Amino acid sequence: MSGEKVKLYQLLRMSASAALFPILRDLGIKAAITQGAALVLHRIAHHGPKEIKVVVKLEDKLSVEDLCAAVVSRASDSGYHFTQKKKQPSRLNFLSEDPQTEGKVCRVTFIPSGGSFRTIIKDFNEVVYISGVPVLPVHVIVLEQLIARTYLPATTPFGKAPAGFAHQCLLKSGAIPLQDLSPLWQAPEILDQIARHVQTLPNAKKDWIARGIDPSIFTYPLSQQAPGEGTNNVDGEDGRSDSGASERPPAAVRLPDAAEHPPAVVQAPNVALEGPDRVGHSAVTDIAARHVISILGELGFECAVSGSAACQLYSHGATQFPEQLEVLVLPPAPFSQNQAWLKQHISQKYPNLFKCKRKKGILFYKYDPKIDLPRRLRGDRRCKVEILFPGTPGLPQLSSSDIVCIDNLPVAPFLTSLLLKLETWADHPSPANARDVEHLVSLVPNLPVWISRPWRERKLMSEEFQAMSELRVKRFCCSSLETKPIWQMLGFEVEDVI
């Protein structure tokens, strides 16, 4: 994320917080910021999202939708502009009137605590104030992430990125034994999630034990919660963490042969489709990708968004609208079928969502008729889905540890995405493709090393792809000299380009 965008998002969050919390206090609602925005305030993360997620204490019969309506009503009297989304009444949009951010929108999501929902924090006196904003303590943020995971199907992957996010929070959460902070740390479902976390990130085991977690939980078999079942039902993703909660899929998957046993038609996973203010500027990433990734997870595959959709996620919507969804799938060891078989299997199992043209080997995702799409997508209302396996020409040999999590979606590594976009520019050197490459390159100085990590990713690429990428980088620098220093930061030799 560019430094300019980091500053813009920070100003938006500050403006939204300054408007929201006085209204909540007037309404008698106890509340505190959590997740990404909270970690920025705690100085654990360097940049946060263009939204604030707020844990609110709900009592009696007050619903999240009622709270949103009350905030909108009270805000209009105070001169602030909050709007309640018709299709997602449990969320708000804050329209900033600050001269520095005028016209920009910050999304507000309420996460209920108490009442019919799990009590995330019992005593709001524990809330800390940073720059005048109420923020959950770090240990409560960790707990809230694990609570959110109890609402997910047991087969949902717990990827490396969200596991690392939770571990980072754990290390910053102090030294008091966790069970002394909340009885929920001894709840079976929370202990089960901790065991799953360690299954993905074994090095975290000693840190959980150091915080008072019983070592015996790591020797018990994990619970097998039925897909779709949870401790509570939640509306959308109100209770989910923006750290990208996910869980490791089964180590061995044996799918039936499509010719011998055609898969039964089943109900698609209940996935929350969280999109932008107007669905369409990134409908592929906000709708199609979330459904496809969820379904592949149900089938036992780890995967990552690749291609133009990945670039749009890294650029937060600044690059071109992706015309199709490319998904890099990491098949488990016993799996011996090809991409064509997997496309056919998906379309047969979820016929209401997919259509496969067998002769051409093309898989299409069909958008829900109820979704209001932009004009360009209203014709056939579908999105082409390309499934790729590691080893496909131009793609590195990735493992699950290489996948990055953005906006709760697993995404192909940054350098891979950048070089694939550069390849697109080399094949089709249009001004739009050049702008996309320039924008992605401009993100590099502000990316954490664990995301840009050029020395790690280049080892995963074939010698041929590395050589071609070197040539493309030099060619691109000839037409965009200002990008030359950043390519050098990534390890490319472009000193001779003038």
**Two tokens, residue 317:** 């919507």
Q: How many domains does the chain have?
A: 4
Q: Residue 95's domain is classified under what CATH number?
A: 3.30.460
Q: Is 125 found in the same domain as 13?
A: yes
Phi, psi of 9 (to 5 degrees): -65, -35
Q: Is 261 found in the same domain as 200?
A: no
Which of 136, 167, 189 is at the close of a domain?
Answer: 136
Residue 224 lies in a domain: no
CB atoms within 10 A of CB 15: 20
Q: Is 318 found in the same domain as 364?
A: yes
Q: Is 403 found in the same domain as 262?
A: yes
**Two tokens, residue 19:** 């408007």
Q: Is 400 found in the same domain as 472?
A: no
Which pTM does this prediction carry? 0.47
Q: Is 120 found in the same domain as 73?
A: yes
User: How far apart, in whole angstroms, are the C-alpha atoms of residue 185 and residue 167?
Assistant: 15
pLDDT of 86: 73
Q: Is 379 found in the same domain as 453?
A: no
User: How far apart, in whole angstroms, are the C-alpha atoms of residue 187 and residue 90?
Assistant: 28
Q: Is 194 found in the same domain as 75?
A: no
CB atoms within 10 A of CB 3: 12
Which of 397, 412, 427 is at the close of a domain?
Answer: 412
Residue 229 lies in a domain: no
Residue 242 lies in a domain: no
Residue 153 lies in a domain: yes
Burial of 115 (0-12, 13-18, 19+ CB in 10 A): middle
User: How far apart, in whole angstroms, are the C-alpha atoms of residue 40 and residue 50?
Assistant: 12
The Cα-based distances of 410 to 164, 293, 301, 314, 413 in angstroms read 13, 8, 12, 11, 9
Cα-to-chain-centroid distance, residue 391:
25
Residue 231 lies in a domain: no
Which of 178, 198, 218 is at the close of a domain?
Answer: 218
Residue 237 lies in a domain: no
**Two tokens, residue 228:** 């779709």
Q: Residue 393 is part of which domain span? A: 249-412
Cα angle for residues 446, 447, 448 (degrees, 5° grid) = 120
Give me Rg for the CA atoms of the chain.
23
Q: Is 428 found in the same domain as 345?
A: no
Residue 239 lies in a domain: no
- pLDDT tens across the length of the chain (498 residues): 677 888 888 888 998 999 999 999 988 899 999 988 998 888 877 778 889 999 999 876 678 888 898 898 888 766 678 888 777 777 899 987 777 777 788 999 999 988 777 888 888 888 999 988 999 999 999 998 888 888 777 666 677 878 888 898 898 888 888 988 888 888 888 888 898 899 889 899 999 999 998 888 877 556 543 333 333 333 333 333 344 433 333 233 333 333 433 433 334 444 433 333 333 345 677 788 888 988 888 888 889 999 999 998 888 878 888 888 999 998 877 777 888 889 988 888 888 888 988 777 899 998 877 777 666 666 678 889 999 988 777 777 777 778 888 877 889 888 889 999 999 999 998 999 999 999 999 988 877 665 666 656 667 788 888 889 999 999 999 989 999 989 988 888 887 876
Q: Is 201 found in the same domain as 290?
A: no
Residue 225 lies in a domain: no
Q: Is 172 found in the same domain as 43?
A: no
pLDDT of 238: 33
pLDDT of 278: 33
Q: Is 121 found in the same domain as 153?
A: no
